Chains A and B, each alone.
Chain A
Amino acid sequence: MNNEPSLLDTFFEECEDLIIALSDGLTEMRDGQADNETINAVFRAVHSIKGAAGAFALDDLVNFAHKFETVLDDVRAQRLAPDDSLLRTLQRAGDMLADLVDNARNATPANRALVDPVLAELQAFLGPEEDTATDEFVFEPMSLDLGGQDDTSPVYRISFTPGRTFYALGHDPLLLILAIQDLGPTEICVTANDLPNNFSNLHWDDGYLTWTITLSGPVSDLPIREIFQFVDDLCDLRIENNECAPFAQTTFPDHPPQPEPESGPTTDAPQRGLKDEQAERTAIKPTTTLRVDPERIDRLINAVGELIINQSVISQRLQEAALPNSSELFADLDDYKLLAREIQEGVMAIRAQPVKPLFQRMLRIAREASDATGKSVVLITEGETTEVDKTVIERLADPLTHMIRNAIDHGIESPEKRIKSGKAQQGIIRLSASQRSGSIVIEIADDGAGLNRPQIRDTAIKKGLIADDTILSDQEIDQLLFAPGFSTAAEVTNLSGRGVGMDVVKTTITGLGGRVAISTVPGRGTTFSITLPLTLAVMDGMIINVSGQTMVVPITNILETIRPSQTDLSKIGLNNDLLRIRGDYVPIIDLAERLGHAPPGRPLTDRVLLLIQTESIAQCALAVDDIYDQRQVVVKSLQGNYGYILGVSGATILGDGKIALIIDPEAITNTTSVQSQIAQPTEGGRSYVAA
């Protein structure tokens, strides 16, 4: 119809949604939760892709979708029972369909070697006699039982009022009417009731005409809807079946709502009609969404960041101005702060997206990995609605892929072994996301054999990562997995080979301000948990002074601040100070020393201790020189222009325009222990720590 590139783009965007719906439905079918509506939704998704692909002459896609759809139709009509092998084939077909859409988008030819076996599998379920159907789909009438009520009534009344955008996009009502005439004998009448009485009110680019077409002929309403498929959100369209009294509203899934380039007052009525239709189309598009260029959001986020910095500049200036405390300015300033925070939260919420699409990609990764290894594995996803910053989602894809593959390749045992150790033959991997007090936690838990610590240790020794007489605790051995240059049996199996090791996983997560932790129970499985900050852009921080440098410590890590008296302090050995707090002893870490700054030479009693808690250690006290303030800071990355600095998670800009580094308490408290031990022997590892 209209081969504008923008329309093609819309098609691909729509395909993404459809493929998610498809994948959703297939997962439900796999889990045995599917009802008829699910199967219908899957069918509609495939059918919509096929329909639109046909209009763009994407033949590979159309042929494949057709075959897929035919099988689904049989499932829907209960001619085929959804048993295991069929479901597996459907899953594979779903993956393949996604691939073909990608191929079409990138204008690369489909890989026949991959497509044909899946086509053959689908064909196997159809039996041989269906072959002729393959080429049936051209952009022409085709009788496909979709509504169930079509056979009874041969007369349709089509009422069609194009809106302003219809004409603005260059559509021609005549072409549509001609296409309808091709379907059968028609009676056409046009009404101009909407024309304004006073012609000076006439907008030249608006639509005022309504065509009413009476079509008789042995057709269902499907071909009519296909004619209007690309314009029915641009015009007020009613297709009425004369034998069935009420309006048959468009239920055929079509374009998602597009942001209208403009909408004049006169197009209001068609728009309202459109909204009603959307409400009925819930089967495929559960939520009405707005597509926004991410760049616009980024601009907004930057502006909000500047707003918050500006707010701290103003509050600093006000304090310097020595106004009387009763001044109402301070109350106004507080309002300003609250508003700024509200705006910031709102903007961040725009960027937040559910992890669902990411998890769905993992379902596929797991399927492929289990096929490749010959292990039977099911991936169960939980907390798919958890929302995470878009950037985080994008950057998590590679690490998660790697970890899922690892879990299947190394974590889950072979079926024979599993049976021998009394487990179900099918391995289970749980991928879950949840929100825990200011952080997002993503866990990948397998029920496999657990980490083989002696083997990890041997490998590390063999690769020269540790000396062979190093004594390591269990946790330290686990951490070896993340050491650069470490990789277990990876080379041997055909699963890896992407050159991504666990060290890259860790670097990526650290780059996002997150952490990875491992817990493993021999014989019972291994859990990797990734903890990520809720937002990347803003956090609450304590502004501190360390050797004359202003720095920020995240509030989430700080339990309390203490000004110690001499009796609270004691020493172990020469340099290790301990703080006694409520009967417990916690180690004191001098932040200045840890960051390589000159020690201030002030006694601890003259300094402030921040009692902090992190994932890896219970508690410890960071010695800093002064505490200035507690406020919201905008996190700026150092990675882009500089690189990773151990112990520093980013930087922020203070009210006076100076930069303050944001401390990563986790990394600070960990520096002496495992990391330096692992890193020292290799040159690469060394630079990781020291650089």
Chain B
Amino acid sequence: MSPPDENTQGTQLEFVTLVAGGQNFCIEITQIREIRRWSPVTILPHSPSHVLGVINLRGAVIPIIDLAAKLGFDRISPTERHVIIITAIEDRIVGLLVESVSEILGVRSDMVRETPRSPDDTTMRAILGVIAVGDDMTKVINLSTLLTNSEPVAA
């Protein structure tokens, strides 16, 4: 939940890497409750386009958000092969639809670099930092920013 702290160098962090909108992202493992296969949702009326609907998770009503659409990419058209990551942010439980989940990445906290400054767009605001993985890199998603600002303003 808290951003990787630069001061506590060397703390071991674990991230789950995933693909949404064709790009690599990751979420800190402590924010993830479970990972499920896609199952049909109940559509919510008057909802923004990135909100797919709600599912029943053992008796709780959990909204499902299309992470790709939320980050500004095209909407995912969900199939059996897609994956829902159930995340817990503050008191809320929200499911994120992603294209796939790849691996668990263990890094030291000082390996999480600050996000390079670039023009402010939807995706950038939701990125906490970047991690270099071999030749590639993955972006740490800031769930708090992503979801608190996004959800329907309940007046």
Contact = CB atoms under 8 A, between A and B. Distances in A.
Interface of A: 302, 305-306, 309, 484, 503, 507, 511, 549-550, 595-597, 636-648, 651, 653, 657-661, 684, 687-688, 690-691
B152 interface: yes
Contact of A641 (B42, B46, B56, B93): B93
Contacts of B94: 641
Contact of B43 (A597, A638, A640, A653): A597
A302 B59 CA distance: 9
B61 interface: yes
B4 interface: no
A628 to B, nearest CB: 15
22 contacts: A302-B59, A305-B59, A306-B59, A550-B42, A595-B46, A597-B43, A637-B61, A638-B61, A641-B61, A641-B92, A645-B44, A645-B47, A646-B45, A648-B45, A653-B61, A659-B41, A659-B56, A661-B42, A684-B153, A691-B46, A691-B153, A691-B155
Given A507-B154, A642-B61, 6 more contacts: A549-B42, A595-B46, A641-B61, A645-B45, A647-B45, A647-B46
A305 B149 CA distance: 32
B59 A653 contact: yes
B19 interface: no
Nearest to B54: A659
Contacts of A644: 152, 154-155
A636 B60 contact: yes
A306 to B, nearest CB: 6
Contacts of B63: 638, 641-642
A651 B45 contact: no
Contacts of B61: 636-638, 641-642, 651, 653, 659
Contacts of A636: 59-61
Binding site secondary structure of chain B: loop
Given A597-B45, A638-B54, A640-B91, A645 B59 contact: no
B56 A657 contact: yes
A596 B45 contact: yes
A574 to B, nearest CB: 23
B62 interface: yes
A487 to B, nearest CB: 15
A638 B51 CA distance: 13
A643 B154 CA distance: 5
Interface string B82-111: 000000000111100000000000000000
7 pairs of A and B residues whose beta carbons are closest in the complex:
A691-B152, A595-B45, A688-B155, A644-B154, A643-B152, A659-B42, A643-B154
Given A641-B62, A653-B56, A658 B42 contact: yes
B151 interface: yes
Contacts of B48: 691
A491 B124 CA distance: 40
Contacts of B154: 507, 511, 639, 643-644, 691
B55 interface: yes
Contact of B152 (A484, A550, A597, A642): A642
Nearest to A647: B45
Given A658-B42, A691-B153, A641 B60 contact: yes
Nearest to A688: B155
A72 to B, nearest CB: 46
Contacts of B56: 653, 657-659
A651 B42 contact: yes
Interface residues of B, number: 27
Contacts of A653: 56, 59, 61
Contacts of A661: 42, 44-45
A636 B65 CA distance: 19
Contacts of A645: 44-47, 152
Which of A643, A657, A688 lies at the interface centre, i.e. has the most chain B CB atoms within 10 A of its CB?
A643
Nearest to A642: B63
A597 B94 CA distance: 23
A209 B46 CA distance: 73
Interface string B30-68: 000000000011111111100100111001111100000
Contacts of B40: 658
Contacts of B60: 636, 641
Contact of B151 (A503, A642, A648, A690): A642
Which of A550, A637, A638, A648 lies at the interface centre, i.e. has the most chain B CB atoms within 10 A of its CB?
A638
B43 A507 contact: no
A511 B47 CA distance: 18
A636 B55 CA distance: 12
Which of B55, B60, B91, B93 lies at the interface centre, i.e. has the most chain A CB atoms within 10 A of its CB?
B60
Contacts of A684: 153, 155
Given A659-B54, A691-B152, A691-B153, A640 B45 contact: no
A69 to B, nearest CB: 45
Contacts of A306: 59
Contact of A659 (B46, B55, B151): B55
A687 B59 contact: no
Contacts of B152: 642-645, 687, 691
A646 B46 CA distance: 8
Contacts of B153: 643, 684, 687-688, 691
Contacts of A690: 46
A327 B154 CA distance: 49
B148 to A, nearest CB: 11
Nearest to A548: B43
Nearest to B93: A641
Contact of B155 (A302, A503, A597, A642): A503
Given A641-B94, A644-B152, A651 B46 contact: no
A304 B40 CA distance: 26
Which of B41, B42, B51, B91 lies at the interface centre, i.e. has the most chain A CB atoms within 10 A of its CB?
B42
Which of A550, A658, A688 lies at the interface centre, i.e. has the most chain B CB atoms within 10 A of its CB?
A658
A596 B44 CA distance: 9
B155 A507 contact: yes
Nearest to A636: B61
A595 B152 CA distance: 16
A639 to B, nearest CB: 7
Contacts of A305: 59
